[in-house]
Structure 1
Amino acid sequence: MRDYAKERPEHAEKYVGENDLFLEIFHAYGASRQSVRPPLLFVHGAFTGSWMWSKYIPHFMSAGWKSYCVNLRGHYKSRSVDFTKILFEDYLEDIRLVISEIVEECGTPPIVIGFSMGGILSQKLAESVQIAGLVLIDSSICREVHAEAPYRDLAFRMPGLVVPAPARDEQISVDETFEDIEFQRKYLSMESAKAFSAFSFHFGSEGISIKGEMIACPSLVICAINDESDEHRGRATARHIGSEYLGLWGTTHTGLLVGQRYHEAVSRIMVWLARFDGRPVSDKASSWTARE
C-alpha cells in the first residue's frame, strides 16, 4: 500500500491546548511572498485527520503558502479522548484555539479550508471568529440549505455510543484507485456520535443553522457532483454564504481530497487564492459570486 502521509515534505509538529491537539505546520517554499499572504488552516472531516490532506499540502507549499493542519481532539495523533462525551461544540473550541495560536504566531488570521464535517464546523466558526477567507470542500450542509435542497429518501440510522469508521469495502470508486482507498482504510477511525448527530441528516439531525450574512470573508465552495440534487445543494450552499462555486461532476466525496482528480480542486483553490497576493484580506471582493 502506498502511504501518502509518509510522503509529505518535512514539517514542524506541536501539541496545542489541554487536549493535546496535534498540529502540523508546513512552511512554504519561496517564503518571501508570505509577507502579504495569510496562512492556511486545513480542517479535516469526520473519521479522519491531517493525513487526509497529504496530496494537497505539497502543492500549497510549492506555491508559497504556509499551511497548518489541525487534528481535532481524539483524531489521528491528538491525545485519545472519550468519544462518547465529545460534542460538536468541542470541535468548534478546538478550531478556535488553533486559530488563536496561528494569529499569535503569524500576526494575521488564517484562510480556513474545511472538508465535510470540517466544512460545517468552519462555517459555524466564521459567523463569529475573524478569518481571512473560507474554502468549503464537499461540506456537510446546514439547516437552511437542507430546507431548500433536502436529501430525499433518507434511511435514518440511530447512532450508538460512537460511530464506527467507514468500512470502505469497495476496491475502487469512480475517481479513486485501490491504493487511494487502501490509504484511507489504514487511517480511518471512529467518530463521536454526539458530534455527528448534531449535523448529520442521515442520523435524523435538524442540522446546524448557519447565518450566511454573518460570514463576511471571501469564500469558495467546491462540491462533488453526481446528479442534479448534488448540484442543487452545492449551489444552495454557495448562495447561502455568498460564495464562488465549483461543482466537479463525476467525483466522490473523499476523492476530492485523495482521488485521481484531486488536483482539479487544488487548481481552483489556487486561482481563488490569488486575490490575497498583496491585497487586503478583509474585503469580500470577487468577480463572481453565487448570489449573482
Structure 2
Amino acid sequence: MRDYAKERPEHTARYIGEIDLFLEIFRGSSGSERPARPPLLFVHGAFTGSWMWSKYVPHFMSAGWNAYCINLRGHYKSRSVDFTKVTFEDYLDDIRQAISEIVEECAVPPVVIGFSMGGILSQKLAESVEIAGLVLIDSSISRQVHDEVPYQELAPRMPGLVVPAAARDEQCSADETLEDIAFQRKYLSMESGKAFAAFSFHFGARGISIESGKITCPGLVIAAVNNEDDDRRGRATARLIGSEYLGLRGTTHTGLLVGQRYREAVSHIIEWLARLEDCSSQPSKPRPRR
C-alpha cells in the first residue's frame, strides 16, 4: 500500500493548547512571505486527521502558501481523549485554539479550508471568529440547507457513545483506486457520537443552524455531485454563506481529497485563492464571493 502521509514534504509540528492538539506546519515556497497572503488552516472531517490532506498540501506549498493542518482532539497524533464525552462545541474550541496560534504567529487570520464535518464546524466558527476566507469541501450540511433540500428516504439511526470508523471494504469507487482506499483504511479511527448527534442527519440530528448574516468573509463551496439533490445542496450551501460554487460530477466524498480527481478541486481552490489575494491588494475590486 502506498502511504501518502509518509510522502509529504518536510515540515514541522507541535502540540498546542492544554489538551495537546497536534498541529502540522508546512512552509510554502517563494511567495509565502507576502504580507497580504494569509496562511491556510486545513480542518479534517470525522474519523480522519491531518493525514487526509496528504495529497493536497504539496500543491499549496508549491503555490507559495503556508499550510497549517490541525488534528482535532483525539484524532491522529493529538492526545487520546474519551470520545464518549467529546462534543461538537469541543471541536469548535479546538479550531479556535488553532486560529489563535496562527494569528499570534502570523499576525493575520487564516483562510479556513474544511472538509465534511470540518466544513460544518468551519461554517459555525465563521459566525464569530475573524478569518480571511472560507473553503468548504463536500461539507456536512446545515439545518437551513436540509430544510431546503432534505435527504430522501432517510432512516436515521441513533449513534452510540462512539461511532466506529468505516470499514471501507470496497475495492474501488467512482474516483478512488484500491490504493486510495487502503490508505484511508490504515488511518481511519473512531468518532464522537455526541458530535454526530449534533450535526449528522443520518444520525437523527436536528442539524447545526448557521447564521449566514454573521459570515462576512469570501467563500468557496465545492461539492461531490452524483445526482441533482447533491448539486442543489451544494448550491444552497453556497447561497447561504454568499460564496462561489463548484460541483464536480462523478466524484465521491472522500475522493475529493484522496481520489484520482483530487487535482480538480485543488486547482480551483488555488485559482480562487489567487483572486482572493488580488482583491485584497486592490480594495476597489469586488471580493470573490458569488
Q: Is the 8 A contact 1:36 1:276 kept in 2?
A: no
- Residues 137-148 of structure 1: pairs in structure 2 closer than 5 A: 137-148=137-148
Residue deviations 1:116-138 (CA, integer Å, cap 9, x gap):
00000000000000000000000
Q: Is the 8 A contact 1:34 1:64 kept in 2?
A: no
1:58 matched residue in structure 2 = 58
Alpha-carbon distance in structure 1 between the residues aligned to 2:236 and 2:209: 14
2:83 matched residue in structure 1 = 83
Q: Give the Å deviation of 1:76.
A: 0.2
Could you tell me which amino acid in structure 2 is paired with residue 165 of structure 1? A
Q: Is the 8 A contact 1:134 1:220 kept in 2?
A: yes
Q: Is the 8 A contact 2:219 2:289 kept in 1?
A: no
Count of matched residue pairs: 289
Alpha-carbon distance in structure 2 between the residues aligned to 1:229 and 1:280: 34
Q: Give the Å deviation of 1:275.
A: 2.3
1:219 matched residue in structure 2 = 219
Q: 1:86 to 1:150 in 2, by over 3 A?
A: same
Q: Is the 8 A contact 2:220 2:289 kept in 1?
A: no
2:121 matched residue in structure 1 = 121
Query: Helix, strand or coil for the counterpart of 1:35?
Result: coil
Could you tell me which amino acid in structure 1 is paired with residue 120 of structure 2? I
Residue deviations 1:213-232 (CA, integer Å, cap 9, x gap):
11100000000000001011
Residue deviations 1:136-191 (CA, integer Å, cap 9, x gap):
00000000010001101112112111000001110000000000000000000000
Please state if 1:234 is matched with 2:231: no
Q: Is the 8 A contact 1:217 1:282 kept in 2?
A: no
Query: Helix, strand or coil for the counterpart of 2:14?
Result: strand
Q: 1:92 to 1:153 in 2, by over 3 A?
A: same
- Residues 159-238 of structure 1: pairs in structure 2 closer than 5 A: 159-238=159-238
Q: Is the 8 A contact 1:132 1:282 kept in 2?
A: no
Alpha-carbon distance in structure 1 between the residues aligned to 2:87 and 2:258: 27
What's the TM-score, normalizing by structure 1? 0.96
Q: Is the 8 A contact 1:218 1:285 kept in 2?
A: no
Q: Give the Å deviation of 1:287.
A: 5.5
Alpha-carbon distance in structure 1 between the residues aligned to 2:255 and 2:65: 23
Q: Is the 8 A contact 2:5 2:51 kept in 1?
A: yes
Q: Is the 8 A contact 1:231 1:247 kept in 2?
A: yes
Residue deviations 1:189-212 (CA, integer Å, cap 9, x gap):
000000111000001100000011
Q: Is the 8 A contact 2:276 2:288 kept in 1?
A: no
Q: Give the Å deviation of 1:277.
A: 3.1
Residue deviations 1:268-289 (CA, integer Å, cap 9, x gap):
0011001243543897934661
Could you tell me which amino acid in structure 2 is paired with residue 188 of structure 1? L
Alpha-carbon distance in structure 1 between the residues aligned to 2:288 and 2:55: 29
Alpha-carbon distance in structure 1 between the residues aligned to 2:226 and 2:280: 36
Residue deviations 1:224-259 (CA, integer Å, cap 9, x gap):
000001011010000011110000000000000000
Q: CA RMSD in A?
A: 1.5
Could you tell me which amino acid in structure 2 is paired with residue 285 of structure 1? P
Please state if 1:17 is matched with 2:24: no
Q: Is the 8 A contact 2:32 2:65 kept in 1?
A: no
Q: 1:201 to 1:29 in 2, by over 3 A?
A: same
Residue deviations 1:44-75 (CA, integer Å, cap 9, x gap):
00000000000000000000000000000000
Q: Is the 8 A contact 1:34 1:65 kept in 2?
A: no
Alpha-carbon distance in structure 2 between the residues aligned to 1:274 and 1:213: 25
1:285 matched residue in structure 2 = 286
Alpha-carbon distance in structure 1 between the residues aligned to 2:260 and 2:76: 24
Alpha-carbon distance in structure 1 between the residues aligned to 2:252 and 2:32: 36
Could you tell me which amino acid in structure 1 is paired with residue 155 of structure 2? A
Could you tell me which amino acid in structure 1 is paired with residue 19 of structure 2? N
Query: Helix, strand or coil for the counterpart of 1:223?
Result: strand
Q: 1:189 to 1:278 in 2, by over 3 A?
A: same
**Sequence identity percentage:** 74
Could you tell me which amino acid in structure 2 is paired with residue 10 of structure 1? E
Q: Is the 8 A contact 1:136 1:220 kept in 2?
A: yes
Could you tell me which amino acid in structure 2 is paired with residue 75 of structure 1? H
Alpha-carbon distance in structure 2 between the residues aligned to 1:167 and 1:193: 17
1:150 matched residue in structure 2 = 150
Q: Is the 8 A contact 2:10 2:26 kept in 1?
A: yes
